[in-house]
Chains A and B, each alone.
Chain A
Amino acid sequence: MNELKENLKAQIIEQLNLEDLTTADIQDDANLFSDDGLGLDSIDALEFIVLLESEYGIKIADPSEGRDIFQSVNSLAAYIEKNR
């Protein structure tokens, strides 16, 4: 699980072009979409959908489903474990 989370953080940084961040900067439970998290937005949510499919083969058809799944690295990892 920890390896998955570490990989996820690296993939997030790459997919979202978060040039100045390292995996150490992203807390497992931080709310990625709030300002004290990473301050991500709806475009990033779509990029998460692309990431889930290209790296984990998981397809999300409805973008509104994504909101809960993408909340944090924890929720993402949990979803991936369940669905891949």
Chain B
Amino acid sequence: MIYVKTASSISHQNSFQKESIWEDLHVLKADSVVISPDYKNYIPAAALRRLSPVLRMAMTAAQECQKAVEVEFDAISVGTALGCLKDTEKFLQTFISAASETLSPTAFIQSTHNTIGGQISLALGNHAYNMTHTQNSLSFEVALIDAMMCCREGKKNVLVGAADEAIDFLELLRNELIKTDRQFTSGASFFVLGSEPTKVSVADCSITFNSIDLSKEVDSFLSKNDLNHSDIDLVLHAGIELDSFKNSMNYEDYSGFHYSSSAFAFHIGHDFLKSVNANNVLIINAQMNEKLGLTLLKK
């Protein structure tokens, strides 16, 4: 069994350092902002000065997880769909409009996808396995699958999470490339998986591409886990309409739109199971239509 030891999110909800985010969840308004802590309290100035929002969020959430668990992580698995967008755009502007060949390197260095995982390992002085997965809307799911593999290989404290950030440029892609009416938001959610029993376990996570019949995929996922629709106490979904479950929420109402939002759904599901008399939570990530991520949390 793979248990969830702790959860930490920085999001457009007041989620940071909350014992449970379940009670205070509210539907986001159209102009919501990231509710972030004073990062100066978590990251030394020398490092902080270079860090874009996504890096600040991810590092702080990861550090909260380290504080809660204390033991050194023996694996770190991070998901991000678009990586460090702010620095990517900054470096594009730098080199395209450069007057000379002498270019400022900081934005380039900060722009690679694995800067998130790399900065986490630096901040924690961690020498373990450190992986960055990027598979669009399923980036968190793949990071989670890897983390679960690490647990099955005997790792005892695996940090897993995902983060993505919004930049103004994304508005240019709305409708044509990114089909959503929602506000583009940012978020980072991190968890620690391990073998010591806690209230919540991750039972299964699977991804499929080219899914033609989403409800059929959901049915076979449930039956693989010996469950019926009626066994599911809460479905957290995105990109799919459902009427066959007793209690369902569209998690994007609470996270806004970014491709790591299923990680936030994981946090919601986790806290729901901790605080309510319930047994099973199903997360259905169909944010990008036929690319489907299914995750099952159990008490």
Which residues of A are at the interface with B, using a C-beta cutoff of 8 A? 15-20, 38-39, 43, 46-47, 49-50, 53-54, 59
Known contacts A16-B49, A17-B49, A18-B49; is-contact A43 B102 (Cβ 8 Å) = no
Task: Give CA–CA (A50, B45) in the complex, Å.
Answer: 22
The answer to whether A59 and B102 have CB atoms under 8 Å apart is yes
Chain B residue, CB-CB nearest to A57: B100
- Given A17-B106, A47-B105, A49-B102, 20 more A-B residue pairs with CB atoms under 8 Å apart are A15-B104, A16-B49, A17-B49, A18-B45, A19-B45, A20-B45, A38-B46, A43-B105, A43-B106, A43-B109, A46-B104, A46-B105, A47-B104, A47-B106, A50-B102, A50-B103, A50-B104, A50-B105, A54-B100, A54-B102
CB contacts (< 8 Å) of B104 on chain A: these are: 15, 46-47, 50
Chain B, range 39-82, C-beta contacts under 8 Å to A: 45-46, 49-50
B102 lies within 8 A of A53 (CB): yes
Nearest-CB distance from A21 to chain B (Å)?
9
Interface size class of B (residues with CB under 8 A): 10 to 19
CB neighbours (8 Å) of A20 from chain B are 45
Closest to B50 in A: A17
Indicate if the CB atoms of A19 and B49 lie closer than 8 Å. yes
Closest-CB distance, B109 to chain A (whole angstroms): 6
- How far does the alpha carbon of A17 sit from the alpha carbon of B105 in the complex, in Å? 13
> Which B residues have a C-beta under 8 Å from some C-beta of A?
45-46, 49-50, 100, 102-106, 109
**Residue of B at shortest CB range from A51?**
B104
Dominant secondary structure of chain B at its interface with chain A: loop
Who on chain B is nearest to A45 by CB?
Answer: B105
Query: In the complex the two chains form, what is the Cα distance from A59 to B101 in whole Å?
Result: 10
Q: How far is the CB of A19 from chain B (nearest CB, A)?
A: 6
The smallest C-beta distance from A17 to any residue of chain B, in angstroms, reads: 4
Set of chain A residues within 8 Å of B45, measured between Cβ atoms: 18-20
**Complex CA distance for A54 and B103, rounded to whole angstroms:** 10
Closest 9 CB pairs of A and B: A17-B49, A53-B102, A46-B105, A50-B104, A39-B46, A50-B102, A20-B45, A19-B49, A18-B49
Contacts of A50 in B (CB 8 A): 102-105
Q: Which residue of A lies closest to B105 (CB)?
A: A46
Residue of A nearest to B110 (CB): A43
User: In the complex, A59→B100 CA distance in Å?
Assistant: 11
Closest chain A CB from B299 CB (angstroms): 45
Cβ–Cβ < 8 Å partners of B46 in chain A: 38-39
CB nearest to A40 among chain B residues? B46
Contacts of A59 in B (CB 8 A): 102
Q: Give Cα A41 to B102, complex, Å.
A: 18
Task: Enumerate chain A residues within 8 angstroms of B106, measured Cβ to Cβ.
Answer: 17, 43, 47
Q: Which residue of B lies closest to A53 (CB)?
A: B102
Can you list 9 A-B pairs, Cβ within 8 angstroms, ordered by A? A15-B104, A17-B50, A19-B45, A20-B45, A46-B105, A50-B103, A53-B100, A53-B102, A54-B102
Alpha-carbon distance A39/B50, docked complex (angstroms):
14
| In the bound complex, CA of A38 to CA of B109 (Å) | 20
Residue on B nearest A41 in the bound complex, by CB: B46
Contacts of B102 in A (CB 8 A): 49-50, 53-54, 59
Report A-chain residues with C-beta under 8 Å of the C-beta of B109.
43
Most A CB atoms within 10 A — which of B49, B50, B103, B109? B49
CA distance A54 to B99 in the complex (A): 9
